[in-house]
Amino acid sequence: MGAEPETGRFRRMGSRLARSSLSLTRYITTAGPGVTVVLLLLILHLFQPPFLARVSNLVFDGYQQAYPRPYQDAAVRIVDIDDETIRRLGQWPWPRTDVARLTDRLGEAGVAAIAFDIVFSEPDRTSPARAVEILRQNPAARGDYSEIASLTDHDELLGQAMGRAPTVTGFFLTNEVNQVRAFEHAGVAVSGTPPLDALPIFYGAIAPLPVIGTRASGAGFVSILGDRDGIIRSAPMLSNIDGHIVPSLSLETLRVAQGAGAILVRSSDGSGELGAGEIPSVVAVKVGALEAPTTYNGELWMHYTADHPERIVPAWRILEGDLSEAEMQALFEGHIVFVGAGAQGLRDLVSTPIREKELGVVVHAQAAEQMILGKFLIRPDWALGAERILLVVLGLVIALSAPGLGALRSGLLALLALAGVIAGSWFAFRNGGILLEPTFPALGVVAVYIGITGVSFYREERARSHIHNAFDRYLSPELVDRIARDPGQLELGGEVRQMTVLFSDVRGFSRISERYGPQELIGFLINLLTPMTDVLLARKATIDKYIGDAVLAFWNAPLDDPDHERNAALAALEMIDTLNRLNADAARTSDSAWPGEVAIGIGLNTGPCCVGNMGSRQRLSYSLIGDTVNLASRLEGLTKFYGVKILIGETMAQRLPDFALIEVDRVRVVGREAPEHVFALLGSPDMASTPAFMDLRSGIKRMMTAYRAAHWDAAQAELDALGHDETLQGLAGTVALYAKRVADYRLDPPPENWDGVHSATEK
């Protein structure tokens, strides 16, 4: 009696354990996909693929558009050589005397520094001595103009003006190696190891003339490169040329305005920060009393303001005296002035997050403003770590709580987490200028929820998904109906069928490739291959593949085509006609996107092929293999050798008795022992019936008979009788080839057992 209760107790315990085991399995099955998604996203984030940077840029661009930097007057002005200035004062380049006059007027107004976003690298053509040279070349000139020639050179006058005011000249950095360097006015000191490898590296420069550059108070580079999409999100403060650190225009201008000495660069191993990388990078730059945090490669994150016209003064107002002395002092005294060109045809336009077309000088000016105001955007070293922690924590919370909460409440939790991530990122940007990337934590929240809720749907749709994935393995859309009727066709393997194969290739494609960039080359191929494909498809071909400029097509599979030889021959002839039309159209319209007279070679062959699903079990392709395919490829290559456009094999020639065919040789192609009679396909049956073609075919046949019999005189006589290029109907190259062979064999006869077969040495 006592055993009964014990047994019942054990049964109940076993039942509870079984239910617990089943519940744990269900929990793991439900939460597992979410945990897996978190781990995968974390791994992806660790590798930092390029698309992450693009996504981050778009997010931060959106933030700047929503909240541009509030404009504060930082005593920075831009003098713009705008369209009205050009209209009033004449076209650019101006005489350097005008620039000197502008410099003097600004200097007299008491500016702190004048920075030129203009590179005075060439001598002034309007200088007196050069003007006299031009006058003396005039036949109507009188006198030697010696008084004019003795006047001071305009470049010298600008140099003197540069010396009278606190000025900074601009120079370009280039990747072309040269020995030109801007005059160095002050050094760059480094706290720590010089971060040369982290900085943008250049090998040459375009600098102001020494007579100008040496008189200025400073020099800074004006080269600004955008991100891959061309948008300027950060302005370089430093660059590396010949292992020497040089400052940007904005940084050097701040040095001159403060009368400071060397610019100080703090590198990662000299900054007192923990976790500095093996390669020293830039942490901050300090000039005078101003310091700015930078990216690892010495760039300043830009936070642009909206348009503020009061920042910009047209140059004509200064040069034509439109501003009184008091107004000049009010506008410029104690200010930093950047001089740039905004007129049509002169303007240096860049893209920023808030403006598609912005003057490059505005970027320099706004960089200086940010350093003066201490208003920076920063992406701290800890930002990546914080984003990863947030991704893991939020993802795991949703994944582990979803089995107990259910789909609806899990969705609400995910929505709250998503809103929190985005709001936190925006708050950090809006109130602290901190760039925290919300995309991956937000993506983690969404992906985990989708992964969890999608598990059940995936299981229910697994069979249908398998069918769709199977369809995706095929490149030929005609096969869909056959697969739907017979799924067994998804197995690897094929069938042997009598087929016709076409190879087509563009002649001189390497030469064409050298003339065009990748985008232009792709455009040319599209313009060429699209009409060629239309011809093939209209003639019932199956396009196997495109191999660069080459096309492989075949007939009689997957659908039966009793006339596959005739359809292939007509398609090849129509391809030649289509190309002739394309060449003529391009010549008539002078289309620069079409590389002159384009030619193609086509090889055709008929025979047994193994056709079907080729490849691996993961990816199938409906294609064909066999000796017939190889021979078609060799025939296409031989079209160059014989100077014809279309060559076909003898089996196919036997099945096209009414076409305009002429045998051109017996050839032993590379990789094949048995020789093959090869024929030039010159035209359709209409051409074959013309007297001119029949005479040509007879003459070629007589020449070939004499040639193979080693009767060189008879062969030469037949060659002489064949006529000129215009009567050879596309066989001029072949006739020239045989003329050379006959001449060579006369000097060095072949062996007695010669069979007249030519052995090809190239594919």
- Contact in structure between 345 and 113 (CB atoms under 8 Å): no
CB within 8 A of 633, min separation 6: which ones? 503, 603, 763
Task: Answer whether residue 29 shows pLDDT above 70.
Answer: no
pLDDT tens digits along 251-260: 999 999 999 9
pLDDT of residue 31: 67
pLDDT of residue 19: 44
* Mean pLDDT across 475-496: 53
Q: 621 vs 231, which has greater pLDDT?
A: 231
Residue 621: pLDDT band (50, 70, 90) is confident
pLDDT of residue 471: 39
Q: 33 vs 437, which has greater pLDDT?
A: 437
Percent of the chain with pLDDT over 70: 88
Question: What is the four-CA torsion angle of 163, 166, 171, 173, rounded to 10 degrees?
Answer: 130
SS3 303: coil
Residue 702: pLDDT band (50, 70, 90) is very high
What is the DSSP secondary-structure string of 572-626?
A: HHHHHHHHHHHHHHHHHHT-TTS-SS--EEEEEEEEEEEEEEEE-SS-EEEEEES
Q: 658 vs 146, which has greater pLDDT?
A: 658
pLDDT tens digits along 715-737: 999 999 987 777 788 899 999 99
pLDDT tens digits along 179-189: 999 999 988 99
pLDDT of residue 623: 84
Task: Answer whether residue 61 shows pLDDT above 70.
Answer: yes
* Mean pLDDT across 730-753: 91
- CA-based diameter of the chain, in Å? 143
What is the DSSP secondary-structure string of 146-175?
A: HHHHTSPPHHHHHHHHHHHS-EEEEEEEES
The distance in angstroms from the start CA to the end CA of the chain is 95
Task: Answer whether residue 470 shows pLDDT above 60.
Answer: no
CA distance 438 to 451: 20
Coarse DSSP helix, strand, coil percentages of the chain, rounded to the nearest 5 percent: 50, 20, 30
* Mean pLDDT across 539-551: 89
CB burial string 695-706: b at 16+ within 10 A, e below: ebbebbebbbeb
pLDDT of residue 596: 86
Beta bridge partners of 350: 358
Task: Answer whether residue 451 shows pLDDT above 70.
Answer: yes
Of 104-113, 317-326, 510-519, which range is least confident?
510-519
pLDDT tens digits along 552-574: 999 998 788 899 999 999 999 99
pLDDT of residue 700: 93
pLDDT of residue 15: 44
pLDDT tens digits along 205-219: 999 999 999 999 999
- Contact in structure between 535 and 600 (CB atoms under 8 Å): no
* Mean pLDDT across 177-205: 92
Residue whose entry in the numeric block shows the structure tokens 């939460």? 31
pLDDT of residue 417: 87
Which token pair is 718? 């037949």
Of 28-42, 171-185, 405-419, which range is least confident?
28-42
Beta bridge partners of 605: 501
* Average predicted confidence (pLDDT) for the chain: 86
Q: Quote the distance between the C-alpha of residue 668 and its chain's center.
A: 44
Task: Answer whether residue 315 shows pLDDT above 70.
Answer: yes
pLDDT of residue 18: 42
Q: Quote the distance between the C-alpha of residue 322 and its chain's center.
A: 48
Positive or negative torsion for Cα 507, 510, 511, 517: positive
Q: 404 vs 668, which has greater pLDDT?
A: 668
Which token pair is 722? 């064949």
Residue 240: pLDDT band (50, 70, 90) is very high
Smallest CA-to-CA distance from 388 within 678, 758, 38 is with: 38
The pTM of this model reads: 0.56
Q: 576 vs 437, which has greater pLDDT?
A: 576
pLDDT of residue 468: 42
